[in-house]
Structure 1
Amino acid sequence: MTTNTKLIHTMIRVSDLDNAIAFYRTALELEVKDQFVFDGFTLTYLYNQETAFELELTFNHEASPSYTHGSGYGHIAVSVEDIETCHRRLKSQGIQASDIKQLHHQKHHLATFFFIKDPDGYKIEFLQRQGRYL
């Protein structure tokens, strides 16, 4: 019997909710879908029309000390139609982006990509939409 498991969101903790929402609106073209304010924390779900998968921002109202990413966090990845245009757009909006790089495996092109970081230091990988990264 199958359970039809479906990925629906990933969650990250943010230190400044308004700043995080503005960043993800600019960098990933995400908008607020839902927001739930509780006594000690706020959950904000971001989305766009490209996918049903959501990014959940968790803001703890009185978090201290600051969050750390530890040694286990890697990155969030998104795919884009035109990596060079996206790279130029982000840089023109003041977002620091790494150089565009290519990754090859056994002499075959696997990926074209670059990285940015959000205001809390989370890495985001942008991949050219091709091959396994559609």
Structure 2
Amino acid sequence: MARLIHSMLRVLEEERSVRFYRETLGLHVVEKLVFDSFTLVYMAGEGGPFELELTINHDRTEPYDLGTAYGHLAVSVADARAEHERLSAAGHPVTPVKTMTHGGGENPRVVGVFFFLTDPDGYRIEVLERGEPGRFA
């Protein structure tokens, strides 16, 4: 069975947003991944496994229009490829399975195997194979 693990927000200024969520909700940074064009900051509270993912696009200078800003819900599963096969066979709209890696060179680290599922209202749900929140497989 799937469990809810994180929600994503695009933010303009990393430090301002991290400070806000730390001060207002008591969240702390669990993991920070810096890629060429964006940074992912995962934050969580002490009371549970749910995380807030802040995405900072490096080339963005203007505030986001919150009516069209991208976001998603995410669930964690033991085997993303098996879930993809099951959901696809049942006729649900899914994207291809992808693997995200971090770091270059000969030993990039796999930080997620995932695909997206779309609900009847058009909301996208990331189905992600990974360990405990903040502890990438």
TM-score (norm 2): 0.48
- Greater C-alpha Rg: 1
Q: Normalization by structure 1: what TM-score?
A: 0.49
The one of the two structures with greater contact order (alpha-carbon pairs below 8 A, sep at least 6) is 2
